[in-house]
Every structure is written in structure tokens, then in C-alpha cells.
Amino acid sequence: MSVLVTGGAGYIGSHMVLALRDAGERVVVLDNLSTGFRWAVPEDVPFVAGDTGDQALVSRLIAEHDVEAIIHFAASLVVPESVSRPLAYYKNNTANSRSMIECAVEGGVEHFIFSSTAAVYGNPARVPVGEDDAPAPMSPYGASKLMTETMLRDASAAHGLGHVILRYFNVAGADPALRIGQSTRDATHLIKVAVETALGLRPKMDVYGTDYPTRDGTCVRDYIHVTDLVAAHADALRHLRGGGASTTFNCGYGRGFSVLEVIETVKRVAGVDVRVDTAPRRPGDPAEIVASSDRIRARLGWQPRHDDLDEIVAHALAWQRKLSARGG
């Protein structure tokens, strides 16, 4: 029996593959390498280059590798890009996920873990936001993920596919042993951009919007270390294998940092200044989004080990230095 990881050559997926491999699981990766890297997957892990929307391929993989669980990371994930290219997001995130769920049901896969996002909440009515609070996405990205959540719940009710939906808040950092990290080209995510600027790979960076109704006028987010996020998936898999109920969980720490606070942290940890310009608000950005993480702690026994912005930034910096040194 094995675990199929889609998007296993990407940022979070590649950390998941290492964690599963460390735990002695059999793993197979499906990734179309649109944003991921072949080198991010260890040589001894079976790797298939292809699309999640290719049902013949996915069904064959499920049968050939006796797939017991699918962890479905493969997706497009940039909020402003989803505003300018919505149909690409509905295809990759919604239509291809529908196809993955169908293959899982038809292939007798027992467990399905889905990478959802805090973007399903939009601008939540209260912070920290809980899993039962009403979703109201502000971007096609959030909407594309929410649609998949709905399909997964309906398909599970009808066909008995056990599932866990994990709503990721803002993921950052790298494997503490620096075996892998975020290698995305032309990255748009705040910590990655700030780290690249601190290391001189960009001349300056922009702060998108300083007139939000927050403590310093910039957006507030809940930054979670990638290793803690991956641990949440391992906990979810254990839960499903133990007969646990299908559930939706927030993945965040329950405290937020503003854009300016993150940039200050990067400057301090890197020990350099970072040139920052003020820019207009970015489309699709909610002002403040912070997770209530009570449910995942209580029901999955999830225990974060890297809940420290300095550590997240230090690992992101260390990985970026390593990546740059090898020309990545």
C-alpha cells in the first residue's frame, strides 16, 4: 500500500514526501513540474510527471501502486494571479480536483487529505476564525478551493471516502535540516520575497497597502512553519487510518503578524536592512486573517514545534542561502 502525493515536487509537497519517507511509508509522487522541481523528490521515491486532471494516468497509478491514501497538494496558489486568470484556477484547482476525487472513489482509495486555504474565509467576521464560521472567499483562488471542499464532502457522504480538509494559513520556513525548502521561481509570498530582498537577490520590495484597518495599516496573517504543517498531515492520516471522522481543520498558530512586523523580523534575523516601498493594495487581499487552531489541537493532538516567527524566518533565510549557492 502506498500514499500518493500530488504536487510532491512543490514547496509543501516535497516536505511531506520527506516526512512520509522518514516514517517508512511507501510514497508515489505525481507532479507536472509546472512550478515544482524533479530534484526536490528523492531518487528512491517513485516519481511520475503528469497532470492531476489525467484520469487514465491517475487511475493507473492508484491501481499499480495500491494507493491507500491521497494527499492532494497540486494546485495554483497565488491570490492576485487568480484574480487575473480565474479560469486557470478553476481548471487546475477545481476541475482537476474533481477528477482526482472521482479517481479516488473509483479506485477504492480509503483516505483523502486535501490542501485547502484560509482564503476560503475572505475577510472573516471575527478573528481568530473558526472552521464553522461562514466562508466568503474574496478571490478566485479561495473560491476554487472552497468548491473542492464542497465536492469532497458530498462525494464522501455518497461514497464513503474518508477525508480531512486542511485550511492552510501562511506557510513559510524550510526543513530545519535544510534538505529542502521553498524554491519557487518568481515567488510572490511575503517571507520569501523579504528573504530574497535581504540577501540582495531583489533590489527592493513593496508593501501592498498601508491603509488597512489593522494596528499598523498593513495586512495581518498567521504564519505557520512548513514542518508543523506537514506534521498536521501526518496527524490527519493517522486519524483517518484509526477510523476518525472526516473533518475540516485550520492550520495556523492562532496569532498574527503584520506585513511590517514580518519585514522587521527578516531585517533583524538577517542582520541587514531591506529597502521597502509602499504600493497600492493588492486585489483579493483580506485585511486580517488568523486561525483558531483549537480543533486540530484537540481532535488530532497536533502539537506545533516551530511556533516562532524568528525561527521560521531563520530557516527560510538559511534555505535561500543554500539555494542561491547552488545557483537555484
Per CB under 6 A, residues contacting ligand UDP are 79, 170, 188-190, 193, 205-208, 219, 221, 259, 282, 285
- In angstroms, the CA 306 to CA 310 distance is 10
Within 13 Å of residue 116, how many CA atoms lie on the same side as its CB?
32
Judge whether 71 and 233 are in contact, CB under 8 Å: yes
- Residue number with the shortest CB distance to ligand UDP? 219
Strand 205-208 versus strand 247-251 pairing type: unpaired
**Residue 96 or residue 258: which is nearer to ligand UDP going by CB?**
258
Q: Please, are residues 145 and 93 in contact by the beta-carbon 8 Å criterion?
A: yes
C-alpha cell belonging to residue 38: 524533479
Q: Which is nearer to ligand UDP, 47 or 121 (CB)?
A: 121
Residue 220 or 232: which CB sits closer to ligand UDP?
A: 220
Concerning whether 141 is annotated as a catalytic residue, the answer is yes
Angle at 229 between CA 224 and CA 235, to 5 degrees: 145
Min dist CB 141 to ligand UDP, Å, is: 8
CB of 4 to ligand UDP, least distance (A): 26
Residues 11, 89, 121, 141: which is the catalytic one?
141
Q: How far is the CB of 80 from ligand UDP (least distance, A)?
A: 8
For residues 86 and 66, what is the distance between their CA atoms, to the nearest angstrom? 35
Residue 291 C-beta: closest distance to ligand UDP, Å: 12
Q: Which amino acid is at 244?
A: G
Q: Which is nearer to ligand UDP, 11 or 112 (CB)?
A: 11
Closest C-alpha to 53, from 82, 94, 105, 114: 94
* Residue numbers annotated as active site: 141
